[in-house]
Amino acid sequence: MNGVPEPGKTIEVVPGVKWLRMPLFMKLDHINLYLIKDNDGWFIVDTGLRGEKTREYWETIFEHELEGLPVKGVLVTHLHPDHVGQAGWLTEKWQTDLWMTRTEYLATRLYMSSTGHSEAYLSFFERAGLDESAMEHLRKGTSGISKMVEPLPGSFRRLENGQTLVIGEQEWRIIVGYGHSPEHACLYCESLNILISGDQVLPKITPNISVNSTEPEADALKVFLETLEQLKQLPEDTLTLPAHNDPFLGLHTRLQAMIDHHQENVDRLAELCKEPVPALELIEPLFKRPLKGAEMMMGMGECIAHLNYMMNQGRMIRNLADGVYFYQSAS
């Protein structure tokens, strides 16, 4: 494959599998989406953000890239808005089914029903060390997910780990991963040796591995690392089709690089926490640059994910003082 797909166009990865891109209006400026051909139509894998520009590009794809065939189903890897944002519109337009894992579907519905920040959400960030000015800003804020995600259909078809979908002449096995989102679905076709990895495996960046207020004591990093180890069961020469950056070969090499990256972060935190310190003060030295706004919130969640992982390993101690958690290395 040479180059990347232009807006409204596709690149054929192999016969029956097409790669397209939709814009994102953030530092990471694109998402990769995929089309899988069935005998009498196409399945879409992930959807792009809600918005007129994304919808216009989809209409162009429908007109020029589907070979006169309809969309038969919409598969969504996980709940983040760039992946699920247009799912409601696509399923309604084509009168077809939405396929997701149960947890991702229900969590999306839950987040979209929220109009403000709960006390648990505010407490999570207060205990991380945000000052009163920042907390007041949070109290005035509202959930913005509905601006990025079309309302989902009232029903869905469940994807489960190990399930096989027969699409055209190929079998696609669902591999569920954890850590980046609650129940992230990847699709693997053994006969084509292709993995559609969503955000679970990315070639240049590492997906955000966060703990949030819904499950503040979760060990997201542990289950993410376990998923990466399990994916090593696939062949090293698997062609991986990620949600961001370009398709790549060398799956095992990339999996190990991601594992090593997080181990380096754990070791760095052990050094940074020789004296008690709140999570807020660890974000900039952990990421080696200042973070602001939504990026800072994601960085906070990832920092806490590493701290929870270390506590469960016995490498970190946490104490509550004046409403703030302070972390200190155990040795």
Token pair for 56: 């216009």
Question: Is 97 in contact with 156 (CB distance < 8 Å)?
Answer: yes
The pTM is what? Answer: 0.96
Number of domains the chain is built from: 1
CATH assignment of the domain containing 33: 3.60.15.10
Measured between alpha carbons, how far is 229 from 258 in angstroms, rounded to an integer?
Answer: 10
Q: Does residue 306 fall inside a structural domain?
A: no
Helices (H), the chain: 52-64, 81-84, 87-94, 102-113, 119-128, 132-140, 220-231, 251-272, 283-287, 293-312
49 in a structural domain: yes
**252 assigned to some structural domain:** yes
**Domain annotation covers residue 286:** no
Spatial distance between the Cα atoms of 106 and 182, rounded to a whole number of angstroms: 10
3-class DSSP state of 140 = helix
Q: Is residue 65 part of a domain?
A: yes
What pLDDT sits at residue 145?
81
Question: Along the 331 residues of the chain, how does pLDDT read in single tens digits?
Answer: 679 999 999 999 999 999 999 999 878 899 999 999 999 999 999 999 999 999 999 999 999 999 999 999 999 999 999 999 999 999 999 999 999 999 999 999 998 887 667 889 889 999 999 988 888 877 776 666 878 999 999 999 999 999 999 999 999 999 999 999 999 999 999 999 999 999 999 999 999 999 999 999 999 999 999 999 999 999 999 999 999 999 999 999 999 999 999 999 999 999 999 999 999 999 999 999 988 888 888 999 999 999 999 999 999 999 999 999 999 999 7
Question: Residue 102: inside a domain, yes or no?
Answer: yes
* CA within 13 Å, CB half, 30: 17
pLDDT for residue 49: 97
Give domain status of residue 313, yes or no.
no
pLDDT at 116: 67
275-280 long-range Cβ contacts below 8 angstroms, 24+ apart: 275/328, 276/319, 276/326, 276/327, 276/328, 277/326, 277/327, 277/328, 278/128, 278/129, 278/324, 278/325, 278/326, 278/327, 279/128, 279/129, 279/303, 279/304, 279/307, 279/325, 279/327, 280/128, 280/129, 280/130
Kindly state whether residue 54 falls inside one of the protein's structural domains: yes
Structural domain including 240 reads 11-271
Distance CA 244, CA 254 (A): 14
